[in-house]
Amino acid sequence: MRQSLLRSLRSVPVRQIRFPAKRQNPPFVVISGFMIALVVLFIALATNLFMVFFSSGSVGSFNLLGYPVKSTDNKVNILFLGTAGATHDGANLTDTIMVASYNLKTNRLYFISIPRDLWLPELRSKANAVYQMGLSQKNGLGLAKIVMGNILGLPIHYGARVDFRGFIQAVDQLGGIDVVVDNAFDDYNFPIAGKERDLCGYEEKEVDFSEEEAKLLNIEPGKRKVFISPDLKVATDSAQEDKGAKYFSCRYERLSFKQGLQHMDGGLALKFVRSRHGTNGQGSDFSRSKRQEKVLQAIRKKILSPESLFNIAKISQLIKTFGQSIDTDIQPRDGFELYKLSQELDQTRSFVLDDSPKLGLPDKRRSLLLHPPASDYGGAYVLVSQDDDFSIIAGYVKKVLLGEIENEASSAAWTGNK
């Protein structure tokens, strides 16, 4: 029986490594190779994907520097978390939650995205708050590994958390990236950093609503605090994600991406992968995951290009950037082999846990998750599992990793030397 999510709150010792920006007095060639390997590692962590990590053909090739990679049943599982960073509201809430599982026998790599709005009944919280909960015990990464592992029915061997500030800075330091946008889309509700609490002209007041007034507003009569606009409109349901933009439009901006090749700086690339309300079918977690893959491929191509790879000053700058924004229990010594392994990755599969139709579910169920009325959860948008212990999700993930479910995935064929 998997460990209770409540018991996950107990402290679990995890070494959190901060990568050094410099090494003292080794030969120049060793420094260069080590920095290149670390930057490849940092780039992978920054985009919350795993493609750069494991690539090669045989089990023996995973004996890094004389010690074996942690694995269970020939699978290596790594949790990636993305946080907004200190300049954003909810700095330690994880906007991106993804587990990558590499099969050492088949050399297939699977990404499984967990929605940040997944409701965890025992913790009475969304999945995006788990890392922040763990930080209160100085063990954010350790708690997140246990909880996300329980949801998927997998042991999580490694973990990494990166804030989006590092992502932006790294892409800018690379001189931007070129990304092919497959489907043009607009997002009219993309949050503007720093304006999360802007009242946009509304004022919070306590109002005593009569039964007649309450009926018109579909609320309970009596005293309550509400937001009132200059023209005396009442924002009674502003806490709901789909209604907040209606009342507080100054908190949001419109994004527009045209189809075709686009050059993106760090800020634009981040908006491209984080957009959650895109038109033209680009508002789902599945489409978001595919955009993340595209950005990673563009970053990987740029970092492995001669103008970056042999630019020691640029490599050093990237190491410094990510060293300040990454929390991981992956040992720095892994970096020496990661660059070699990144050359041989052939294919990946991506799966998203959501409320869309799925195959292979028990009892003729059609989806893994349900979207209940927001009023049942204090006005919050959440997704809930169809059982209390996530066994349906774990069963689905097991079939995915056995290769029994293929047509629900997005795929990416990579040849390492391209």
Q: Does residue 61 register a pLDDT over 70?
A: no
What tokens does 398 get? Answer: 């097991």
b/e 313-329 (16+ beta carbons within 10 angstroms → b): ebbebbbebbbebbbbb
Q: Does residue 397 register a pLDDT over 90?
A: yes
% of the chain exceeding 70 in pLDDT: 74
What's the pTM?
Answer: 0.70
CB 323 within 8 A of CB 20: yes
Kindly state the average pLDDT of the residues 294-305.
81
Query: Tens digits of per-residue pLDDT, 260-275?
Result: 999 999 999 989 988 9
Task: Indicate the SS3 state at residue 210.
Answer: coil
Kindly state the average pLDDT of the residues 53-71.
45
Kindly state the average pLDDT of the residues 339-356.
70
Q: Does residue 13 register a pLDDT over 90?
A: no
Kindly state the average pLDDT of the residues 64-92.
73
Closest to 113 in 3D by CA, of 271, 292, 275, 272: 292
**C-alpha angle with apex 158: 51 to 152, nearest 5 degrees?**
85
**Where in the chain are the domains?**
7-188+264-413, 199-247
Q: Look at residue 248 in the predicted model and tell me its pLDDT.
A: 82
CB 178 within 8 A of CB 263: yes
Binning pLDDT at 50, 70 and 90, where does residue 285 land? confident
What's the CATH class of domain 7-188+264-413? Answer: alpha beta
